[in-house]
Chains A and B, each alone.
Chain A
Amino acid sequence: MKEQLHALQSEALGLIAEAGDIPTLEGLRVRFLGKKGELTAILKQMGQLDPNQRPVIGQLANAVSAEITEAIQMRREVLEAADLDQRLRAEQLDVTIPGTAQVIGKRHPMMKTLDEALDIFIGMGFTVAEGPEIEFAANVFDKLNTAEGHPSRDWQDTFYFDQADKHVLRTHTSSVQIRVMENQTPPIRVVSPGRVYRKDEVDATHSPMFHQIEGLVVDKGITMADLKGTLNALVQELYGAGTKTRFRPHHFPFTEPSCEVDCQCFKCSGAGCSMCKGEGWIELLGAGMVHPNVFRNCGIDPDEYTGFAFGVGLERMTMMRFNISDLRLIFENDLRFLRQF
């Protein structure tokens, strides 16, 4: 019997090692270890053995059984691992196929520019003030030292709602500054973004409705040097640290001294190209020291306070920032355009 058991063991281990799949392995388990299996068949002959021999053979039989069981278990793990591996291989995906589309919309590029500018000003301690678009001519013109007869008040340039010229579509957001100065004592630091209107036909650089962001700082001892510092900081934040600016005398009724600020052309770095019309500089914004008459009109004493103000066209800023060549794209709202930013 001993020999039988050894023979059984060696045959079983041999077959288990060769088993190629789980069913074969299962068949082997039934054949050798099942209730009607070969090990059981051998053990049935135990009755014919000498009683002294029985514990010895019994022990041997248990050992054989344990060894076969373990071999099956190990073989099973190997086969299962191979199976899993094969199944996973079959499940392979083309990972270069794009993911399922999940659309996230986007902010309009001009509002993106506005957000950026506002964040810069808020960082400098400005608050954001807004006001009506349909405004008193008094706030848009008179109080801003733009007397009756100034060309900007012409019906050819400004939209009017009444023959008495009392109400207009504001031509700049400076009217908000008037409202702020009439209602707040200095120190004042506000920026006022918003829609403004001028009577221009739509073309590549003009639109009857456009957007501005204007700023106003009023306090004791505010200087033109402060104006320069603030605007330089804005330009550097918006267009990069190395951006060069140029301040040029200009005329606005509501500031004195007044200036326009150019920045060096991005495209040609000042050499002169089509983008800057050969000038090497691109006009960016208008600014100046608040005119004493404006202070007087708002009940602020110009002997005590000084201030500066500036206004930037958002469309122009956006067009420069994103290299947009035609203003009409901003208001066309073509998805192919909006997707790009």
Chain B
Amino acid sequence: MKLSRKWLAEFTDIQASDIEYADRMTITGSKVEGGEDLGAEIQNVVLGRIVSVERHENADTLWVCTVDVGQDEPTVIVTGADNLKPGDFCPVALHKSLLPGGVEIKKGKLRGVTSNGMLGSLNELELTIHDYPYSVEDGILTFTPDEMASYQPGDDIRPIIGKDDRVVEFEITSNRPDCLSVIGLARESAASFDTALTIREPQVKGSGGSVLEHVDVEIWDEDLCPRYTARVVRNVKIEPSPVWMRQRLRASGVRPINNIVDITNYVMLEYGQPMHAFDRACLDGDQIIVRRATAGETMDTLDGVTRTLTDALVIADAEKAVGIAGVMGGADSEITENTRTVVFESANFNATSIRKTASRLGLRTDASSRFEKGLDPLGTLPAVQRACELVELLGAGEVVDGVVDVIAADRAPVALALEAERINALLGTDISRDQMVAILEKVGFTVDGADQVTVPSWRLDVHEYVDLAEEVARFYGYNVIPATMFRGATAQGGFNQQQKQERITGELLQGLGYYEILTYAFTGQTAYDKIRLPEDAPQRESLTILNPLGEDTSRMRTMALPSMLEILARNLNYRNESARFYEIARVYLPNSERETLCDEALRLTLGAYGEGMDFFQLKGAVEALLDAMNITGISWTAKADNPAFHPGRCAELIRDGQSLGCLGQLHPLTVKNYGREEDLYAAELDLDALFAAIGQERTYVPWPKYPAVTRDIAVVCEDSVTVADLQAVIAEAGGKHLGESRLFDIYTGAPIPEGKKSVAFALRYQAADRTLTDEDADKATTKILASLERQLNAVIR
């Protein structure tokens, strides 16, 4: 909401500087978002009166003017415009003056004649033809004699063109549509600065006749239109509105159009009540009916679009709709130069109905955005009276006697008890009852001797004591309320087990060199295409947002891997040479059994590339994490059928027969889908399952008293035999004293035959009750070697 301080001054006299005004209004709840001094960029520009106009001796396109600028002698100014004649008033930018946009004007010679400045056009003063409809667009701005009644040549131009004003921009919260008006903000201003508020009751003289000779109103849908007020103006003369009105509208960001339309806008800005003016001639019969549109009913709106009115509330005559209530009028009933009789409509409509209609038609107007917040039902009459008062003031027509005012649903004033003690208990203050009353009365509430508060009709947001508490608090001062710490039974705060685990997991991964990332929960089908997920993969079944920002953000992800790959590729694109990332991410797995549609599962994703990174680095990090988290019983199996990964370099983590996720090197085609060709590594693990697998806290186990005996063995076997296969046989054959079989070397190449490999293990034997002998170790080792040969055809090297 843009508020002109000059307009504000008609209702209350605020002496505060612009900064003081903004601060104080903000602190009492009307947040000032900004402001503009309209004439800030204009300096040393004055009113001039043309004395003479003569053709330049040396130039066919230039004129030499002598201009009275209030000095002893007229000054000489050269111009190219042809619209001037002696006696005209116009703006004169004198020597060393400033115009909007930082344009500096100095005297200078034009073809041998010294010009002591410049005559101003609309454009140069940041004005338009709408502000000065009597002027010309491509010449010098000239003023009409009545506009000049109280000005002299030499006067500062800024007050004359309405640029001596300060426009304050407010952010008005949705509960206070009453503040979307000059009067509403004047009331808040007066209460904030303790100044008197003067709201004059509009006076309409009238011109005889009776409104009922022209229109009558019937409300068919009383729930959607509690009140409809109208007056009629005849013998209308459509012309531009006066300069002061145009300037007010312009300062408020509204374009002046003609006197009747400007009056409706002026009243809307001043009172906050949207008005509609339409041509009486377009009505068939004299009946105005307020009703719901019939199925399939259409109408052309003012903006020239044919609209289907389904469910909308319309203003109609006996035959057809002439306007969409509270949203936009019909093209047929528009005010034109030929309009002779005007109906001013000032009505109150149901907020939700207006919002739905505006939203469905994609047609949000100044009027609809006010109605949809809910307006004062008593506001219709003063507004229509003010409009008629302005008609008479402007001489725009003759106001017919009588007002049509149909009250379909009366709203009783809201009455509340002023519970001063309870308000203090809520605020933590000690404000006296009298101070509360004084504050409430400043903003329009009345309080009787029995502490019964009557809420003003425009405050539809006040329902109970807490609302009164806010009124009291904001003028008492939020910043005056003390700051205390709440008391009460002390409670044990803290994280739950899972929240603790999440933090620990993150810390462990950071220790392993992984940086945390945060990615979006949205995804799209193309993300699944990129990781080469088959068309029929169950992971593609994801929850769909019906109104997404775009296709790529239309689904809730069921996997976090694509997000990680996106980040890896982006970092490669940024030339970050190597990187290791982790994310503890939520995925959204559709589950029709759930009331909230899905299981929101926790996933841990790791992603890495660059120096020193390979499959075993990644696996080692996961193993270290599992160990630190005290998760045991994990086995690893080769996974060749995950299309995202390299078929020979992908492992699945299995525990108790359940998959906990997989890790590996990404398939080169997956990497290519992200526009890269480097080796990328990633893991996606089921973090909920990992947390569930965390073992009991470990207790101390003393280490054996007797020394261990070690034996190293190396066997040659087929390439296809895995280390896990070999270790399984070793464990089985090793006997009760075999403690561990640690892999320490794998070798291929000469002299080992093609297709075979040499695998070396360090075996460690130990007994709890005695020192083992060499014979014990040799016996066990021989047995192991025999089993390896028998079961896996792995022979000692």
Contact = CB atoms under 8 A, between A and B. Distances in A.
Contact of A225 (B351, B359, B464, B482): B482
A223 B426 contact: yes
Nearest to A262: B26
A259 B483 CA distance: 14
Contacts of A251: 173-176, 461
B400 interface: no
Interface stretch (B210-218, B545-553, B685-693, B741-749): B545-553
B493 A250 contact: no
Contact of A219 (B482, B483, B488, B496): B488
Contacts of B487: 221
Contacts of A135: 596
B484 interface: yes
CB-based closest 3 A-B pairs? A225-B428, A223-B428, A249-B29
A134 interface: yes
A130 B521 CA distance: 17
A282 B560 CA distance: 35
Contacts of B175: 251
Interface string A241-265: 0000011111100001111000000
A226 interface: yes
A108 B427 contact: no
Contacts of B425: 221, 223, 306
Contacts of B295: none
Contacts of A167: 596-597
Interface in A111-154: 111, 115, 118, 121-128, 130, 132-136, 148-151, 154
Contacts of B581: 333
B549 A208 contact: yes
Contact of A150 (B174, B493, B544): B174
Interface in B119-173: 173
B492 interface: yes
7 contacts: A106-B510, A124-B493, A148-B352, A199-B547, A248-B27, A251-B173, A257-B470
A48 to B, nearest CB: 63
A3 interface: no
B576 A257 contact: no
Contacts of A319: none
Interface string B471-515: 001100011011111111111111110010001001001111111
A110 interface: yes
Contacts of A104: 510-511, 513
Interface string A213-226: 00001011111111
Contacts of B478: 247-249, 259
Interface stretch (B525-533, B567-575, B762-770): B567-575
A121 B493 contact: yes
Interface string A317-339: 00000000000001111111011
Interface stretch (A7-15, A25-33, A61-69, A228-236): A228-236
Contacts of A226: 428, 484-486
B588 interface: yes
A209 B520 contact: yes
A187 interface: yes
Contact of B516 (A102, A108, A127): A108
A249 B474 contact: yes
Interface residues of A, number: 85
B556 A225 contact: no
Given A149-B355, A257-B466, A259-B478, A208 B546 contact: no
A332 B566 CA distance: 10
Interface in B369-420: 372
Given A122-B493, A209-B522, A107 B510 contact: yes
B491 A187 contact: yes
B427 A334 contact: no
A41 B612 CA distance: 70
Contact of B510 (A105, A201, A232): A105
B495 A122 contact: yes
Contacts of B491: 125-127, 187, 189
A189 B496 CA distance: 14
Contact of A331 (B28, B519, B576): B519
Contact of A134 (B355, B490, B600): B600
Contacts of B298: none
B246 interface: no
B228 interface: no
A166 B708 CA distance: 67
B516 A338 contact: yes
B560 to A, nearest CB: 13
Contacts of A189: 491, 493
Contact of B546 (A134, A163, A247, A332): A163
A158 to B, nearest CB: 8
Given A223-B484, A224-B427, A161 B479 contact: no
A217 B484 CA distance: 14
B518 A105 contact: no
Contacts of A239: none
B517 interface: yes
B481 A224 contact: yes
Given A251-B174, A256-B467, A333-B519, A225 B481 contact: yes
B586 interface: yes
A169 interface: yes
B637 interface: no
